[in-house]
Structure 1
Amino acid sequence: MEAIIWLGVMILFAVGEAVTVGLTSIWFAVGALGALITAGLGLGFWPQITVFIILSGVTLALVRPLAKKLLRPGYSATNADRVIGTVGVVTQAVNNLAGEGLVNLAGQVWSARSKTEEVIPAGQEVRVLHIQGVKVIVEPVTADQTKAV
């Protein structure tokens, strides 16, 4: 009877692992397998519980760090990242308060916002600091910075 219970517990954790993203319950399925084997050997309730807890803990301690390392969602660079650090020209004044501003970057027009609250007039060269949503965050390029580029 106990073996059937442990088999059910193992199947429950295995199915739970299969329907979730990432490793969440596989260690408990391994612990239940150990308890199932212990029950099959005719050992009592407490040895079964002890084997379940120890095997689950050991599996968790060994597998989780590796799983976190391998299953970590990483940053995927996009083509839009190419514009970070580039210099472009303001085609419509960048005004954060009015929610306006367009910048031409290598032939592509982007919505833009200023790093600070200052208004950047049309025709001013700007450098892209980062992308926030679908807008580039820019700062004016001074004459000294233009020479350095």
Structure 2
Amino acid sequence: MPIVWIGFAIFMLLCEGFTTQLVSIWFVLGSVCAAITTIFTSDITIQSAVFLVVSLVSLIVTRPLVKRFKKRNKTTGTNADRHIGQVGFMLTDSLEN
């Protein structure tokens, strides 16, 4: 059974790698803890409970940190923002081919 939990952790880690926001990092931690639980018990309900509790607690603990980090990293405008609402001129006619 630890293979299943480690496989799930790797899958969630890959999912986290393909996203730009924290959406599955808590499940990685929960599944690693559930895999460690397999050393002590073979009961799937206890392993699942450890997975759920650790995932939920890590989500609750890190949520304020994530909100503070997102608030600090506001979107930075680029130089292209200066051109919004301005008039541009074409030097050549692109319809002639």
Per the normalisation by structure 1, the TM-score is: 0.50
Aligned to 2:52: 53
Tell me, in whole angstroms, the C-alpha distance in 1 between the residues paired with 2:70 and 2:42: 37
Q: Higher strand proportion, which one?
A: 1
Tell me, in whole angstroms, the C-alpha distance in 1 between the residues paired with 2:62 and 2:32: 16
| Aligned length in residues | 85
Who wins on radius of gyration, i.e. which is larger? 1
The alpha-carbon deviation at position 76 of structure 1 amounts to 2.3
Tell me, in whole angstroms, the C-alpha distance in 2 between the residues paired with 1:10 and 1:74: 31
Contact kept? 1:6, 1:32, Cα under 8 Å: yes
Per the normalisation by structure 2, the TM-score is: 0.73
Q: Deviations over 1:76-130 (max 9, x none)?
A: 256688xxxxxxxxxxxxxxxxxxxxxxxxxxxxxxxxxxxxxxxxxxxxxxxxx
Q: Using CA pairs under 8 Å that are at least 6 residues apart, name the structure with larger relative contact order, 1 or 2.
A: 2
Please report the RMSD computed on the Cα atoms of aligned residues, expressed in angstroms.
2.4
Aligned to 2:74: 74
Structure 2 unaligned residues grouped into runs of 5+:
87-97
Q: Partner amino acid for 1:68? A: K
Between the two proteins, what is the percent identity of the paired residues? 34
Q: Higher helix proportion, which one?
A: 2
Please give the secondary structure, in 1, of the residue aligned with 2:47.
helix
